[in-house]
Structures are given as C-alpha cells and as structure tokens.
Amino acid sequence: MTDLAYLGRDLDLGFILNEAGQVSVMPYSHVDLKPTPRAGVMPSAVDIGIVQGKAALAQALIMRLMTERGELEGLGHPDYGSRHHSLIGEPNIERNRNLVKLYILECVREEPRVERVVSLEVTLGVGRENRDKVDVRLGVKFKGAPDVTILVLPFSFRGPLE
C-alpha cells in the first residue's frame, strides 16, 4: 500500500518539517498552529497549515508522548499520554532511564496506526550541564508504510525543557 492517506490529516503545529515526518524543531519547544500562504488568492492570505500521512502520524505520536497520562481524563481519554513525566525529580540513573523506555513503549502501544516499535534508545546527555537530560531515539514502523520513521525526543529529569 503506497497511499498513506489513512495515516490521517491534522492541523500543523509547526514542528514537522516534511511529509516524511522529519521533525524540524524539538517537540518540547513552544508550538502553535502554523499559518500557510494560500495559493492563487489576491490579496495574499494565509490559512491554517495541515500535515498529512507520515507527518501527521509523527506529530500525533509526539503529542501523545508530550501529554501526561490522565491529563485528558476529563475529556474522556483517561489512558491517553505517557507516564514518563512522573519521573521528573528522580535521578538520572539506569533504572529510571529503563522506566522512561517502559513508559514510552506503553504509550506508543496505544497508537493503533503504529505497527511496531523497531528501536528505542535512551542515551545520556553530554556534558555536566546536561546531566539530568536524556535523548530518546524512537524508531517506529507505521502500518502500511514501507520504511521506519525515527523520532528523537528530549527528556529532562529536572523538569520541562525550554
């Protein structure tokens, strides 16, 4: 299946670079709806941008991981999100990095458009100033997509990243 339209369409939040799902901005930076120039209209106008296919699913996965599990319970989605946020304030030790992996795997498993997780690595931040940070490198195979999509997400045991 080469048509990836079933992966969905969504409003563009500004951190997906292209249709392949490459991330242009760190997902935990400030995101907002991305305006897109409307073609063929005078005077020029803008619309809300749209992402689709693998880019839409990559964005959806990032948003799922950015959301704390239970945060959307009041909207009827008690299991949406990830539990790795509960590790903020804990030391950056192997046990807690393994919990980050576990919680991310639990979260990604809930996304029905993901066929399987191909790889998941949690690596230490480099340098003394990054001792509380890790990079999460997640390789996922989307259903029907021919290749693997790689997402690299930052996480800090100290708290929200700026």
Query: The domain 5-37+45-156: what is its CATH number?
Result: 3.10.450.40
Confidence bin at 25 (pLDDT 50/70/90): very low
Write the DSSP symbol of residue 141: E
| Tens-digit pLDDT profile for residues 94-131 | 999 999 999 999 999 999 999 999 999 999 988 888 88
pTM of the model: 0.79
For 64-147, strand residue ranges (E) read 114-124, 133-142
**pLDDT at 14 exceeding the cut of 60:** yes
Phi, psi (degrees; rounded to nearest 5) at 82: -125, 155
Say whether 81 sits in a helix, a strand or coil: coil
What residue ranges do the domains of the chain occupy? 5-37+45-156
- Name the token pair of 83: 């539990």
